[in-house]
């Protein structure tokens, strides 16, 4: 074991191993673990509603229905496309158990359906978009955050105007900037809300449809001040591209995006991506699943090793037109786990002061470098699943397919099935579709599954040998930033009475025989390796610290912002969103990106537009307790984890390590890469990158121009 202190924090090299039965196999995640005092959930403040006042496992799990199509369109000289019209609205939803107050949230929902059976329902999380491989999907995304009189609604949560953000009150010249202030520290922004939807995991999408952070738009409201910018810097350029590429018009309060769907069958999800506001917009509710089905790497290509025939996976999943509530039993279920906090009146709680995080009360911008409201991380003190706190789901003694998503703000999940006797859990897919081979999480990994922010896991959960009864799916991840290590040895696990519980399964006898293929006999579609890289691109993950004071005037050190950068001559260079582009792959190039984590925490790194293959991880040489410069790998290399085979779009980069991924950049345009701890991405841990040359007519003078 080696000891060191990067970025002023004591860390130790650890191996994340959970007991896995008599065979002695382990759940192996080698990492650098931030040390220091650990804080249990009971000590973490939240809203005025304590977690202990909320009854658990009384609400049935909502299985998200399928989003209805608005129709089918014939595209210019191409395939027909499924067409949707989807808006974001504000409404009240029963997130807490019945009998407790409802919660005002935002959510996506269809506003038009071609079928009379179509469910025009806004919900948080929203309905699932079911799509077919190689059949494009076109969506009219509408910002409908207005009241009954057509006036713009303010944000549900406190918006910090001192970040580099969408900044509508800055007008056309000041939008998408970090504003400058004089005098007193500004209060929260209370104007109309910027939105732009990103389909997370979409591959080969045009940049006009990717949900670029500077392509946001306000609602078409009656009361927007004349001096406000109504859309972001890139909106008009992308509107022109959309008109030229697939013949659509954009207008006040909406944009039309198109997704080619020619990627591997996979589990995608859609959420907001507005500059400097993603953490708040997503916390308010708008997100949903988007499933791509079919193709040469789809379900029909999964074989049964015993017969060579097509395997049978658990089904059905919800279908468009199903009754709601459903009158059928689903054996394939998308599940998003999120953490939230609430007030006694049912409203969402999110802090309105930096003091909440680390007791820093200043000096705040413009008199210091700390933003007054932004939180370096946020951990809710209650768990929600598919939009309800601690639900339960009735399952039969048979196999189910669960598509799991970590939709939390900053929380890494370690889902723990070990309290369910007789269960078997096999992972068969991740973000980019099926794995190279099924991974037995029960036999080899202690019935535990690590999910970083925005990571997905496609799993078969076999309840066949589980005795009838009620069992809790646990979480042994920490109630604080994660850096790897052994639960209960290197970090305190989540509070076992609240965030250590996710949902309950009520196991009942099977209604009939199970026709599905046992997962150990599944032969998954082969994974084609990407071409050899022509460029190796070292990139840095950085944390900028500052010195503030607490309410007693005592000095307190804390994060000012999280940063990305490039590495030149072994030395990392801090970059912010507005700096010139430093990552510019050629069209068609295959590159290896090396995420060099100089911070004390793990970061889930997401690259838009591509999926990648995880190459390996390697330790870094330390000098005086910090990552040495020039950066030097230490030669301790390990391969990807079994659940990281195939293709991914989000990867955990551990402290004090290099995480290498390989991707082919096939589609020209302007995209982003960022940490998916949303509090980090909103304060400079996101960078634009460009594939290919500068586009004629693209915005100049900001991050996109160089």
Residues with Cβ < 8 Å from 187, sequence gap 6 or more? none
Over residues 668-690, the mean pLDDT reads: 98
Q: What is the pLDDT of residues 641-663, one digit of tens each?
A: 999 999 999 999 999 999 999 99
pLDDT > 60? residue 33:
no
Percent of the chain having pLDDT more than 90? 90
Over residues 28-48, the mean pLDDT reads: 47
Contact 127, 65 (CB under 8 A): yes
Contact 359, 550 (CB under 8 A): yes
Instruction: Report the candidate in 414, 395, 285 with the shortest Cα–Cα distance to residue 333.
Output: 395
Q: Label residue 41 by pLDDT band (50, 70, 90).
A: very low
Instruction: Report the candidate in 7, 10, 2 with the shortest Cα–Cα distance to residue 628.
Output: 7
CA dist., res. 70 & res. 113, Å (int): 4
Q: Omega before 325 cis (within 30°)? A: yes
CA dist., res. 446 & res. 441, Å (int): 6
pLDDT > 70? residue 587:
yes
Q: What is the pLDDT of residues 363-388, one digit of tens each?
A: 999 999 999 999 999 999 999 999 99
pLDDT > 60? residue 152:
yes
Residues with Cβ < 8 Å from 685, sequence gap 6 or more? 541, 561, 562, 563, 564, 603, 674, 675, 677
- Give 535-559 as a DSSP string: EEEEEEEEEEEEEEE-TTS-EEEEE
pLDDT > 70? residue 325:
yes
pLDDT at 44: 62
Residue 690 tokens read as: 């460009």
Instruction: Report the candidate in 607, 536, 599, 591 with the shortest Cα–Cα distance to residue 563.
Output: 599
Count of CB atoms within 10 A of residue 304's CB? 16
Q: What is the pLDDT of residues 159-214, one digit of tens each?
A: 999 999 999 999 999 999 999 999 999 999 999 999 999 999 999 999 999 999 99
Contact 280, 155 (CB under 8 A): yes
Question: Whole-number mean pLDDT of the chain?
Answer: 92
Residue 54 tokens read as: 């909320």
Q: Label residue 39 by pLDDT band (50, 70, 90).
A: very low
Contact 367, 185 (CB under 8 A): yes
Torsion of CA 236, 238, 244, 249, to 10 degrees: -60
Over residues 27-54, the mean pLDDT reads: 56
Count of CB atoms within 10 A of residue 244's CB? 10
Q: Which residue has the tokens 């994660």?
A: 482
Instruction: Report the candidate in 655, 608, 201 with the shortest Cα–Cα distance to residue 412.
Output: 655
pLDDT > 70? residue 40:
no
CA dist., res. 693 & res. 205, Å (int): 17
According to DSSP H, which parts of 579-690 are helical?
678-681
Q: Which residue has the tokens 């010195």?
A: 547
**Residue 415 Cα to chain centre, angstroms:** 16
- Say whether 320 sits in a helix, a strand or coil: coil
pLDDT > 70? residue 18:
no
Q: Which residue has the tokens 């794995």?
A: 435
Tell me the whole-structure pTM to 2 decimals: 0.93
Instruction: Report the candidate in 63, 109, 59, 516 with the shortest Cα–Cα distance to residue 322.
Output: 63
pLDDT at 701: 62
Residue 608 tokens read as: 């838009």
Q: What backbone torsions phi and psi does residue 129 show, to the nearest 5 degrees?
A: -90, 115
Q: Which residue has the tokens 């799993």?
A: 459
Q: Label residue 77 by pLDDT band (50, 70, 90).
A: confident
pLDDT at 85: 98
DSSP assignment letter at 228: S
Q: Point out which residues pair with 518 in neighbouring strands.
A: none
pLDDT at 45: 75
pLDDT at 704: 47
Q: What is the pLDDT of residues 405-414, one digit of tens each?
A: 999 999 999 9
Q: What b/e string do you get for 439-469 counting C-beta neighbours within 10 Å, with b at 16 or more?
A: bbbbbbbbbbbbbbbbbbbbbbbbbeebeee
Tally the residues of the chain: 706
Contact 464, 397 (CB under 8 A): yes
Angle at 46 between CA 45 and CA 49, to 5 degrees: 120
pLDDT > 90? residue 500:
yes
Residue 578 tokens read as: 């507005």
54-63, 70-79, 103-112, 166-175: least confidently modelled range: 70-79
CA dist., res. 356 & res. 647, Å (int): 38
Over residues 565-594, the mean pLDDT reads: 97
Over residues 257-285, the mean pLDDT reads: 98
Q: What is the pLDDT of residues 545-555, one digit of tens each?
A: 999 999 999 99
CA dist., res. 555 & res. 548, Å (int): 6
Count of CB atoms within 10 A of residue 695's CB? 15
Residue 374 tokens read as: 């932004």
Consecutive H or E run containing 239: helix 235-246
- Say whether 50 sits in a helix, a strand or coil: coil
Q: What is the pLDDT of residues 520-553, one digit of tens each?
A: 999 999 999 999 999 999 999 999 999 999 999 9
Q: Label residue 27 by pLDDT band (50, 70, 90).
A: very low
Over residues 33-49, the mean pLDDT reads: 54
């Amino acid at each position: 074991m080696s000891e060191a202190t990067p970025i002023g924090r004591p860390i130790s090299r650890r191996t994340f191993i959970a007991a896995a039965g008599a065979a002695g196999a382990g759940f192996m995640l080698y990492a650098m673990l931030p040390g220091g005092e650990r804080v249990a959930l009971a000590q973490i403040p939240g809203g005025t509603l304590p977690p202990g006042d909320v009854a658990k496992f009384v609400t049935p799990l909502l299985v998200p229905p399928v989003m209805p199509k608005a129709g089918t369109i014939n595209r210019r000289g191409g395939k027909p496309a499924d067409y949707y019209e989807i808006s974001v609205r504000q409404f009240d939803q029963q997130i807490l158990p019945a009998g407790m107050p409802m919660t005002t949230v935002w959510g996506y929902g269809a506003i038009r359906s071609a079928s009379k059976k179509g469910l025009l329902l806004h919900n948080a999380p929203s309905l699932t978009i079911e799509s077919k491989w190689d059949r494009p999907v076109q969506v009219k995304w509408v910002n409908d955050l207005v009241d009954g009189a057509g006036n713009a609604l303010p944000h549900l949560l406190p918006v910090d105007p001192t970040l580099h953000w969408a900044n509508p009150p800055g007008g056309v010249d000041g939008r998408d900037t970090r504003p400058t202030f004089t005098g007193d520290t500004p209060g929260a922004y209370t104007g109309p809300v910027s939105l732009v939807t990103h389909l997370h995991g979409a591959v080969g999408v045009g940049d006009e449809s990717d949900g670029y952070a500077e392509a946001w738009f306000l609602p078409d409201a009656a009361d927007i001040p004349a001096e406000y910018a109504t859309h972001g810097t890139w909106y008009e350029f992308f509107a022109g591209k959309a008109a030229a590429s697939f013949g659509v018009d954009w207008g006040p309060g909406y944009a039309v995006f198109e997704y080619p769907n020619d990627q591997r069958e996979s589990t995608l999800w859609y959420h907001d991506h507005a500059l400097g506001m993603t953490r708040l917009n997503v916390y308010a509710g708008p997100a949903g699943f988007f499933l791509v089905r079919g193709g040469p790497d789809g379900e029909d290509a999964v074989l049964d090793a015993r017969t060579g025939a097509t395997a049978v996976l658990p089904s059905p999943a919800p279908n468009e037109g199903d009754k709601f509530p459903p009158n059928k039993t689903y054996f394939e279920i998308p599940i998003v786990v999120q953490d939230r906090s609430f007030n006694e009146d049912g409203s969402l709680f999110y802090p309105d002061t930096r003091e909440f995080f680390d007791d820093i009360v200043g000096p705040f911008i413009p008199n210091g470098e700390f933003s007054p409201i932004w939180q370096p991380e946020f951990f809710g003190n209650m768990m929600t699943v598919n939009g309800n706190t601690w639900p339960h789901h009735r399952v039969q003694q048979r196999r189910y397919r669960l598509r799991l998503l970590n939709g939390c703000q900053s929380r890494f999940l370690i889902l723990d099935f070990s309290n369910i006797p007789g269960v078997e859990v096999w992972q068969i897919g991740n973000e980019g579709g099926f794995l190279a081979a099924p991974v037995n999480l029960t036999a080899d990994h202690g019935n535990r599954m690590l999910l970083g922010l925005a990571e997905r896991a496609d799993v078969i959960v076999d309840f066949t040998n589980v005795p009838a009864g009620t069992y809790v799916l646990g979480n042994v991840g920490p109630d604080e930033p994660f850096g790897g290590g052994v639960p209960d040895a290197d970090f305190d696990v989540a509070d076992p009475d609240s965030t250590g519980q996710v949902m309950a399964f009520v196991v009942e006898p099977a209604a009939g025989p199970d026709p599905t293929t046992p997962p150990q006999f599944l032969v998954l579609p082969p994974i084609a390796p990407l071409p050899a890289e022509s460029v190796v691109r070292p990139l840095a993950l950085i944390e900028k610290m500052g010195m503030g004071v607490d309410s007693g005037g005592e000095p307190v050190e804390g994060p000012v912002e999280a940063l990305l950068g490039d590495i030149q001559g072994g030395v990392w260079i801090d970059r912010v969103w507005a700096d010139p582009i430093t990552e510019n792959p050629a069209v068609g190039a295959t590159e290896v990106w090396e995420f060099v984590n100089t911070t004390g925490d793990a970061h889930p790194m997401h690259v838009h537009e591509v999926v990648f293959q995880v190459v390996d991880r390697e330790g870094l040489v330390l000098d005086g307790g910090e990552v040495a410069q020039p950066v030097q790998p230490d030669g301790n290399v390990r391969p990807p984890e079994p659940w990281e085979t195939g293709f991914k779009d989000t990867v955990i980069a551990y402290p004090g390590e290099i995480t290498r991924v390989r991707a082919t950049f096939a589609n020209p345009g302007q995209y982003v890469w960022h940490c998916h701890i949303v509090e980090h991405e909103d304060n400079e841990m996101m960078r634009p990158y460009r594939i290919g040359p500068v586009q004629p007519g693209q915005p100049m003078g900001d991050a996109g121009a160089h």
